[in-house]
Amino acid sequence: MPISTANFYTVNHSNHPIKTIGILGGGQLGLMLAESALPLGLRCTFLEDAPNCPARLLGKVYSSEQLDDFAKVCDIYSLEFENTPLNSAKFLEENTGLFPPSKALFIAQDRLNEKNLFNELDIKTVPFLAVNSRDELQTACENLGLPLVLKTTRGGYDGKGQFVIKNDEQIDTAWAELGDATKTAPLIAEGFINFSREVSIIAVRSKTGEIRYYPLVENEHYNGILTKTTAPAPNAEHLTAQAQSNIKKLLEHLDYVGVLTLELFVTDDGLIANEIAPRVHNSGHWSIEGAVCSQFENHMRAVAGLPLGDTSVVKPSVMLNVIGQYPSMADILALDGVHYHGYDKEERTGRKIAHITIMPTDTEKLDETVTKVVELLPNKMGL
Ligand code: AMP
């Protein structure tokens, strides 16, 4: 049974003026934000149409039809899901303030806006072209060369809405699969990057403009879904300055408050920006145990106008996503230095339902413990 949320709104003895934070979205990111908010005397409430969402465990959930009621109970707003309709975001922003600002959503909701901003800020990104028709797709294939990645500009996640065109014969198939999306927005054709690895950087900016960076982490995907994050990314010190400079430009340009994530490809020529997420991110879950102050707590601190916390690493760690099916939690927890976070979601193919952070007392045993955890996962997702 979900915890009763009634007391959250009747008793809150915090002496900080901001007490209730309205979060757009109610998934596991919302749940973990609310967890980190509780000790700070901050309470979260959620705007989410799925009543069974993970965040229901720690805060009241309002449907989008209840936007006005939601707006009345919150001191300020934030988000854990960037595809909230821009109009609702702007309404709340004008009401008492949305952190991050809606212009960050405007950018992150559309891959073309994102890539154009990277160019404007001199952040190296993939070569790309907008595609509005079958003819324009042909032109893009000729100009960018094959292979290329054709993507919907809006609404794609976990590798959905993408087609890698490897040869001329696949152009028609790709158009048949994705062309329909051009009725609402153009597609984007991106040059295919032969990267050696994928990394991300998470940073947080306060209301006073202070910025703190988490270390670069390395990410592994299976069928477009994040499966593993290694924190910090091994042998990445030489990439840190470029990653920090990139994300700093974005944070300052957007007058951003809160946690921002930038996903990057590592190539022989340095880092190439892929996309941003204007929120806490799956590649930062390790920070709950692995950093002095987690991405979730730092986001809450920033949004509530509190001082930021230390982003230093406590100990190297690896985070594994549990996808589709739950393992035996008892077997996982029997291993030294292993932390389990379930999201109270139904099992479903391809769905992120929990994550595990591995940081054994003896750091030398990290790889060995990761192997033991992987053996216990019913769904290994290529690990
Ligand atoms: P995205 O939704 O843009 O994060 O893409 C999902 C995954 O597809 C990325 O994590 C990469 O592994 C791969 N990918 C995306 N864009 C490209 C690209 N332009 N070149 C090569 N691989 C890509």
| CA-193 nearest atom, ligand 1 | 20
Q: Are 357 and 319 in contact (CB under 8 A)?
A: yes
Model confidence at 202: pLDDT above 80: yes
The residue-averaged pLDDT of 36-63 equals: 96
pLDDT of residue 24: 96
pLDDT > 90 fraction of the chain, expressed in percent and rounded: 90
Residue 89 pairs with which residues in a beta bridge? Answer: none
For residues 207 and 368, give the distance between their C-alpha atoms in angstroms, rounded to a whole number: 42
The per-residue pLDDT for range 67-111, each reduced to its tens digit, is 999 999 999 999 999 888 899 899 999 988 999 999 999 999 999
The yes-or-no verdict on residue 246 having pLDDT over 80 is yes
Residue 166: pLDDT over 90: yes
Q: How many helices (H) and strands (E) does the chain have?
A: 13, 17
> Confidence band (pLDDT; 50, 70, 90) for 11?
low
Q: CATH for 127-191, among 3.40.1350.10, 3.10.310.10, 3.30.1490.20, 3.40.220.10?
A: 3.30.1490.20
How far apart are the CA of 201 and the centre of ligand 1, in A? 16
Does pLDDT of 148 surpass 50? yes
Nearest CA to ligand 1 atom 11: 224
> Of all atoms in ligand 1, which is nearest to the CA of residue 191?
19
What residue segments make up the domains of the chain, in order of their start? 20-98, 127-191, 197-376
How much is the pLDDT for 6? 44
Residue 1 confidence class, pLDDT cut points 50, 70, 90? very low
Residue ranges around ligand 1 (CB below 6 Å): 126, 149, 156, 159, 190, 192-193, 198, 221, 224, 263, 274-275
- Count Cβ atoms within 10 A of the Cβ of residue 330 and give its class: 0-12 exposed, 13-18 middle, 19 or more buried: exposed
- The mean per-residue pLDDT over the stretch 362-382 comes to 97
Best of 149, 165, 195, 200 to mutate for ligand 1, by most ligand atoms within 8 A of CB? Answer: 149
Kindly indicate whether the domain formed by 20-98 is annotated with CATH number 3.40.1180.10: no
Q: What does the buried/exposed string (b/e) look like for 131-141 if buried means 16 or more CB atoms within 10 Å of the residue's CB?
A: beeeebbeebb
**Ligand 1 nearest-atom number relative to CA 274:** 3
Q: How far is the CA of 328 from the centre of ligand 1 (A)?
A: 32
Q: Closest residue (by CA) to atom 18 of ligand 1? A: 192
CA-CA distance, 64 to 113, in Å (whole number)? 26
Distance (Å) from CA 193 to ligand 1 centroid: 8
How remote is the CA of residue 151 from the centroid of ligand 1, in Å? 9
Backbone angles phi, psi at 358, to 5 degrees: -115, 120
Rounded average pLDDT over 284-311: 98
Q: What is the mean pLDDT of residues 123-151?
A: 97
At residue 9 the predicted structure's pLDDT band, cuts being 50, 70 and 90, is: low
Tens digit of each residue's pLDDT (9 = 90 or more) over 203-244: 999 999 999 999 999 999 998 899 999 999 999 999 999 999
Q: Which atom of ligand 1 is nearest to the CA of 111?
A: 3
Q: How confident is the model at residue 258 (pLDDT cuts 50, 70, 90)?
A: very high
> What's the confidence (pLDDT) of residue 10?
54
For the segment 20-44, the average pLDDT, to the nearest whole number, is 97
For ligand 1, atom 7: residue with the closest CA: 224
Q: Which of 113, 150, 195, 274 is the pocket-test mutation for ligand 1 (most atoms within 8 Å of CB)?
A: 274
Whose CA is closest to 25, among 44, 6, 11?
A: 44
Please tell me the distance between residue 135's alpha carbon and the centre of ligand 1 in angstroms.
Answer: 24
Domain covering 197-376 in this structure, CATH number: 3.30.470.20
CATH topology identical between 127-191 and 197-376: no
